[in-house]
Amino acid sequence: QLQLVESGGGLVQPGGSLTLSCTASGFILDSYAIGWFRLAPGKEREGVSCISESAHSRTHLASAKGRFTISRDNAKNMIYLEMNSLNVEDTAVYYCAAIRVVNERYCPESGNRYDYWGQGTQVTVSS
Protein backbone atom coordinates (compact mmCIF):
# COMPACT_ATOMS: atom_id res chain seq x y z
CA GLN A 1 0.00 0.00 0.00
CA LEU A 2 2.87 2.34 0.82
CA GLN A 3 5.04 2.57 -2.25
CA LEU A 4 8.06 4.46 -3.49
CA VAL A 5 9.15 4.27 -7.11
CA GLU A 6 12.43 5.68 -8.36
CA SER A 7 13.03 6.83 -11.89
CA GLY A 8 15.50 8.86 -13.89
CA GLY A 9 18.51 6.59 -13.82
CA GLY A 10 20.51 5.69 -16.86
CA LEU A 11 23.86 5.99 -18.56
CA VAL A 12 25.71 9.28 -18.28
CA GLN A 13 29.24 10.32 -19.16
CA PRO A 14 31.70 11.53 -16.53
CA GLY A 15 31.12 15.18 -15.72
CA GLY A 16 27.48 14.93 -16.69
CA SER A 17 24.35 15.50 -14.67
CA LEU A 18 21.32 13.44 -13.81
CA THR A 19 18.22 14.06 -11.72
CA LEU A 20 16.52 11.14 -10.03
CA SER A 21 12.86 11.19 -9.02
CA CYS A 22 11.04 9.29 -6.33
CA THR A 23 7.26 9.09 -6.48
CA ALA A 24 5.37 8.24 -3.31
CA SER A 25 1.91 6.75 -3.07
CA GLY A 26 -0.33 5.29 -0.40
CA PHE A 27 0.66 7.69 2.36
CA ILE A 28 0.92 11.36 3.17
CA LEU A 29 4.41 12.36 2.17
CA ASP A 30 4.33 15.40 4.44
CA SER A 31 4.59 13.15 7.50
CA TYR A 32 7.81 11.42 6.39
CA ALA A 33 11.47 12.17 6.11
CA ILE A 34 13.04 10.87 2.92
CA GLY A 35 16.51 9.52 2.32
CA TRP A 36 18.50 8.68 -0.78
CA PHE A 37 20.83 5.68 -0.63
CA ARG A 38 23.03 3.91 -3.09
CA LEU A 39 24.45 0.43 -3.47
CA ALA A 40 27.38 -0.37 -5.71
CA PRO A 41 28.65 -3.89 -6.46
CA GLY A 42 31.04 -5.08 -3.77
CA LYS A 43 30.34 -2.12 -1.52
CA GLU A 44 28.21 -1.44 1.50
CA ARG A 45 25.04 0.59 1.18
CA GLU A 46 25.75 4.28 1.54
CA GLY A 47 23.47 6.97 2.82
CA VAL A 48 23.66 9.81 0.32
CA SER A 49 21.39 12.46 1.76
CA CYS A 50 18.10 13.05 3.49
CA ILE A 51 15.42 15.68 3.69
CA SER A 52 13.27 16.27 6.74
CA GLU A 53 9.58 17.03 7.11
CA SER A 54 10.45 20.70 7.34
CA ALA A 55 12.51 20.38 4.13
CA HIS A 56 15.86 20.77 5.84
CA SER A 57 18.41 18.70 4.00
CA ARG A 58 21.59 16.95 5.02
CA THR A 59 24.21 15.35 2.83
CA HIS A 60 25.75 12.32 4.54
CA LEU A 61 28.17 11.29 1.83
CA ALA A 62 31.27 13.47 1.83
CA SER A 63 31.97 12.90 -1.85
CA ALA A 64 28.46 14.11 -2.72
CA LYS A 65 28.69 17.43 -0.92
CA GLY A 66 28.56 20.29 -3.36
CA ARG A 67 27.49 17.96 -6.16
CA PHE A 68 24.19 16.37 -5.06
CA THR A 69 21.06 18.21 -3.96
CA ILE A 70 17.97 16.63 -2.44
CA SER A 71 14.57 18.30 -2.60
CA ARG A 72 10.92 17.46 -2.13
CA ASP A 73 7.61 18.57 -3.57
CA ASN A 74 4.90 17.34 -1.24
CA ALA A 75 2.11 18.62 -3.48
CA LYS A 76 3.33 16.27 -6.21
CA ASN A 77 4.30 13.46 -3.82
CA MET A 78 7.79 13.53 -5.25
CA ILE A 79 11.36 13.69 -4.05
CA TYR A 80 14.37 14.50 -6.20
CA LEU A 81 18.09 13.98 -6.19
CA GLU A 82 19.97 16.30 -8.51
CA MET A 83 23.42 14.97 -9.28
CA ASN A 84 26.09 17.05 -10.97
CA SER A 85 29.71 16.48 -11.97
CA LEU A 86 29.20 12.74 -11.94
CA ASN A 87 32.16 10.40 -11.89
CA VAL A 88 32.56 6.65 -12.27
CA GLU A 89 32.52 6.17 -8.49
CA ASP A 90 28.91 7.34 -8.51
CA THR A 91 27.85 4.24 -10.43
CA ALA A 92 25.33 2.40 -8.27
CA VAL A 93 21.70 1.52 -7.79
CA TYR A 94 20.04 4.48 -6.11
CA TYR A 95 17.14 4.03 -3.71
CA CYS A 96 14.76 6.38 -2.00
CA ALA A 97 13.37 5.49 1.39
CA ALA A 98 10.83 6.95 3.79
CA ILE A 99 10.57 7.03 7.56
CA ARG A 100 7.87 8.39 9.82
CA VAL A 101 9.01 11.60 11.40
CA VAL A 102 9.94 11.87 15.05
CA ASN A 103 10.08 15.63 14.76
CA GLU A 104 10.18 18.12 11.93
CA ARG A 105 13.97 17.97 11.76
CA TYR A 106 14.29 14.17 11.89
CA CYS A 107 16.66 13.04 9.16
CA PRO A 108 18.54 9.81 9.97
CA GLU A 109 21.59 8.59 8.10
CA SER A 110 21.19 4.87 8.78
CA GLY A 111 19.13 2.97 6.24
CA ASN A 112 18.15 0.48 8.93
CA ARG A 113 15.84 3.09 10.41
CA TYR A 114 13.76 3.57 7.27
CA ASP A 115 10.39 1.89 6.88
CA TYR A 116 9.69 1.94 3.15
CA TRP A 117 11.93 1.52 0.14
CA GLY A 118 11.68 1.85 -3.59
CA GLN A 119 12.96 -0.71 -6.07
CA GLY A 120 15.98 1.35 -7.07
CA THR A 121 17.15 2.92 -10.28
CA GLN A 122 20.48 2.18 -11.93
CA VAL A 123 22.93 5.01 -12.50
CA THR A 124 25.92 4.17 -14.64
CA VAL A 125 28.67 6.71 -15.21
CA SER A 126 30.94 5.64 -18.02
CA SER A 127 32.79 6.97 -21.04
| CA 39/CA 102 separation, integer angstroms | 26
Is 26's pLDDT higher than 90? Answer: no
Classify residue 7 as exposed, middle or buried by CB count within 10 Å of its CB (0-12, 13-18, 19+): middle
Q: Tens digit of pLDDT for each residue in 62-109? A: 999 999 999 999 889 999 999 999 999 999 999 999 999 888 889 999
Q: In this predicted model, what pLDDT tens digit does every residue of 38-61 receive, in sequence order?
A: 999 999 999 999 999 888 999 999
Distance between CA atoms of residues 86 and 106, nearest Å? 28
